[in-house]
Amino acid sequence: MANSLRIAVDAMGGDLGPRTTVSALLDFLNSHRQVHALVFGDQTQVGEQLSLSPYKDPTLLSRIEVRHSDSHVIDSDKPSAVIRHKRDSSMGLALQALAAGEAQAFISAGNTGAIMALGLYFVKALPGISRPAICTTVPTISGRSYVLDLGANPVCSAAQLYEFALLGALTASELESIESPSVRLLNVGEESNKGRDDIQQAAALLEADTEINYCGYIEGNGIFQGGTDVIVCDGFAGNVALKTSEGLATMVGARFREAVGRGWLARLALLLLRGPLLKLKVQLDPALYNGAYFLGLNGVVVKSHGSATQTAFVRALEVATAAAEHNLPDVLSPILKHKLNQPG
């Protein structure tokens, strides 16, 4: 599908830094021969991980260019401080490379607020977009759905929710080849008079736009039901929904292990169920849903979970690459310019 493309990697983000990000990058490049990487971070730490490469492919290391940075963003850094003092951190330099066209995608497992701030600073927003939204896909009974915003904007206006709906619909249409993606607003009821004023106003904006396939409200229990391509909410609700789901899965897993115990009958039963359970794991493993887009930036910016495993970081690299192969921002830009009536 794609010719050679280059991805800018902030190697220092995430709980284990280069030990996860660089190892995952090697795995990824080994199976994606058309991709090159610009790796930003502490050159000693990055170099150590590169020297541990298990791959014999001689082209692999030649497809990686390491660029040293003296500083990196940490989780407790405030976005405003990062903009003042850490523009040349590994994250900042990687975003500068993206903005300059040296790379077609950016990835980091680091501080979300800092990615947003530096992204807006260097990469800028797409035409007409007031604030980017974090967007990921979630598994449903019948497939997967795009959900945004997941935490970048705890409070949103109706106009912003409308922008998110537009960004989500255009992205699902481009990346999943869905002709007219169905869009719903997350609310506390399905009747039109339910919920907050901002959501009711966003619904009116979406109903008025005949190019968006707006299908009404969806409640929390509908998120995983399938049948909706794009689910739109403010960042507070989105973050609560996704994190609560993670927590529930963890709790049920813990209670399941406790209930099943370690007796031989239980072990035998689990052995018999090994195939189906593995299949289920492959379908629902959070690692497979790692990699969230910052939709609305004028470049492919992808965030990995900070505690992502190597496998999960590989998945986020795939997400970034797919969006870059589709030239997502270039596809979105003229449509947004037209629809949101931006000059220029």
Asked if 92 contacts 122 with a C-beta cutoff of 8 angstroms, the reply is yes
Is 242 one of the binding residues for its own copies (CB under 8 A)?
Answer: yes
Q: What's the closest the beta carbon of residue 247 comes to its own copies, in angstroms?
A: 4
- Of the two residues 41 and 110, which places its CB atom closer to its own copies in the complex? 110
Give the total of residues touching its own copies (CB under 8 A).
Answer: 58
Distance between CA atoms of 153 and 151, rounded to whole angstroms? 5
Is 101 one of the binding residues for its own copies (CB under 8 A)?
Answer: no
Among 290, 328, 339, residue whose Cα is nearest residue 139 = 290
Q: What's the DSSP call for residue 188?
A: S
Is 98 one of the binding residues for its own copies (CB under 8 A)?
Answer: no
- Of the two residues 92 and 151, which places its CB atom closer to its own copies in the complex? 151
Q: Which residue has the tokens 């035409």?
A: 127
Binding-residue pattern over the window 134 to 163 for its own copies, x denoting contact by CB under 8 A: -----xxx---------x--xx--------
- Of the two residues 41 and 151, which places its CB atom closer to its own copies in the complex? 151
Candidates 260, 307, 338, 342; binder of its own copies (CB under 8 A) is 260
Contacts of 60 (CB under 8 A, 6+ apart): 26, 29, 30, 53
Contacts of 236 (CB under 8 A, 6+ apart): 151, 154, 155
Among 188, 138, 42, 173, residue whose Cα is nearest residue 50 = 42
- Two tokens, residue 205: 């904006």
Contacts of 295 (CB under 8 A, 6+ apart): 132, 133, 134, 135, 148, 164, 167, 168, 171
- Of the two residues 237 and 297, which places its CB atom closer to its own copies in the complex? 237
Per CB under 8 A, which of residues 55..94 are in contact with its own copies? 76, 78
Is 192 one of the binding residues for its own copies (CB under 8 A)?
Answer: no
Distance between CA atoms of 63 and 61, rounded to whole angstroms? 5
Candidates 201, 245, 309, 311; binder of its own copies (CB under 8 A) is 245
Which stretch, 33-41, 59-67, 220-228, 307-315, contacts its own copies (CB under 8 A)? 220-228
- Of the two residues 6 and 303, which places its CB atom closer to its own copies in the complex? 303
- Of the two residues 54 and 275, which places its CB atom closer to its own copies in the complex? 275
Count Cβ atoms within 10 A of the Cβ of residue 168 and give its class: 0-12 exposed, 13-18 middle, 19 or more buried.
buried
Count, residues in the chain: 344
Task: Give the torsion sign (CA, 155, 157, 163, 169).
Answer: positive
Which stretch, 3-11, 94-102, 172-180, 238-246, contacts its own copies (CB under 8 A)? 238-246
Q: What's the closest the beta carbon of residue 276 comes to its own copies, in angstroms?
A: 4
Is 219 one of the binding residues for its own copies (CB under 8 A)?
Answer: yes
Is 196 one of the binding residues for its own copies (CB under 8 A)?
Answer: yes
Contact set with its own copies (CB under 8 A):
76, 78, 139-141, 151, 154-155, 186, 188, 191, 193, 195-196, 219-225, 233, 235-237, 239-252, 254-256, 259-261, 265-266, 268-270, 272-273, 276-277, 279-280, 283-284
